Amino acid sequence: MKKLLVIIILLNSFTGIGQNFLNGGFEINTAVGNQINLSAALYNNIMTNSVSFGTLCNIDIITDTNFCGVGAQQGSWYVALTGGSTDAISLELSAPLNTGQTYTVSFYDRWGIPPSSAVYPFQIGLSATDTSFGSLIYTAPDANACVWTLRTFTFVAPGNGQFITVKIAGGSEGDTWCHIDNFTMQLPESVNSVAQNNEMQIFPNPFTSQTTLSFDEEQKNTTVQITDILGKTILQGTINGRLYVIDMSEKAKGVYFVRIMDEKRKVVNKKIVLE
């Protein structure tokens, strides 16, 4: 059965090209079942738009509910890292950040026990390359045991890096083991301009063939465009009203972007993954 996993990313048409994670939910991979204690080479061969570069590289790609009794925060997959920078990964963005621009990133974490005996916080960086941590931009609170917890932070980009990096601040591969999932990025000003006036939702979720865009306000001559990960337009249409049906039944599995532009040139982008 096909499933649609929706990650909402709001962008502003007046601040340049919108940046978003190409595989922030770790759903684009070739794994078959859990992949445990992977070397960097094995992780990089399986995962798309994410690179492992830690000092030890003992990373896990997990799909089932054997750990903590609950699976991924969204979709089917999540990643587990060990501590003390022994595991570290980069997540590729669709475009480099703009130096001095303000961004907001959200993700989910949890402390995976057992076998962990100690908990340490995740650290997030911004890097120009996919194999170095770069500049520290955020240190999260300690992860909660076996409970997915939303982390959201705002930062001013210290450079124009195209990779968000992740590692655990302390500990070692022998005493801590934490999980991450569902990275998203947004421009704060676009949330204010669009969400206050013209919020859009997608339902049902998941769906097998068709889904519906729903707006708080009536739309008039609003353009909708669906593109693939390479920017190629797959579908395009015009919205007049509060509902619009998108038929993806004949489309291939993968990542797509739904782009909405109304008459006032306010833009909303939603990232969707069709499985």
Residue the block writes with tokens 């990313």 = 9
pLDDT at 21 over 90: yes
Res 179 pLDDT > 90: yes
Burial zone of 232 (CB within 10 Å; 0-12 exposed, 13-18 middle, 19+ buried): exposed
Is residue 12 assigned to a domain? no
DSSP state of 143: P
18 pLDDT above the threshold of 50: yes
Residues 164 and 259 in one domain: no
Smallest Cα–Cα separation from 10: which of 106, 128, 99?
A: 106
Judge whether 9 lies within some domain.
no
Within a 10 A sphere around the Cβ of 221, how many other Cβ atoms? 10
In tens, the pLDDT along 182-233 reads 999 875 444 433 334 457 787 876 767 787 888 888 888 888 888 776 566 7
Residue where one domain finishes, among candidates 134, 164, 186? 186
Token pair of 152 as six digits: 């959201």
- Give how many domains the chain has, as a whole number: 2
CB under 8 Å to 187, separation ≥6 — which residues?
A: 10, 11, 12, 15, 18, 101, 102, 103, 104
pLDDT interval class at 139 (50, 70, 90): very high
pLDDT of residue 187: 58
Exposure of 173 in the CB half-sphere (CA atoms within 13 A): 15
The whole domain housing 109 covers 19-186
Same domain (yes/no): 195, 265 = yes
1 within some domain: no
Is the pLDDT reported for residue 122 higher than 80?
yes
- Looking at residue 5, what is its pLDDT? 34
Count of CB atoms situated within 10 Å of the CB of 234? 14
Residues 195, 270: one domain?
Answer: yes
Q: Assign residue 34 the CATH number of its domain.
A: 2.60.120.260
Residue 8 is assigned to a structural domain of this protein: no
Which of 64, 60, 134 lies closest to 93, judged by CA? 134
Residue 210 in domain: yes
- Which of 17-31, 53-67, 111-125, 223-237 comes out lowest in average pLDDT? 223-237
Report if residue 227 sits inside a domain.
Answer: yes
Whether 6 maps to a domain, the answer reads no
The terminus-to-terminus CA distance of the chain in angstroms comes to 8
Greater model confidence, 30 or 155: 30
**CATH number of the domain that 257 lies in?**
2.60.40.1930
Q: Indicate the pTM of the whole model.
A: 0.66
**pLDDT tens digit sequence for 54-113:** 988 889 999 999 999 999 998 999 999 999 889 999 999 999 998 888 888 989 999 998
Q: Which of residues 160, 186, 212 is at a domain's end?
A: 186
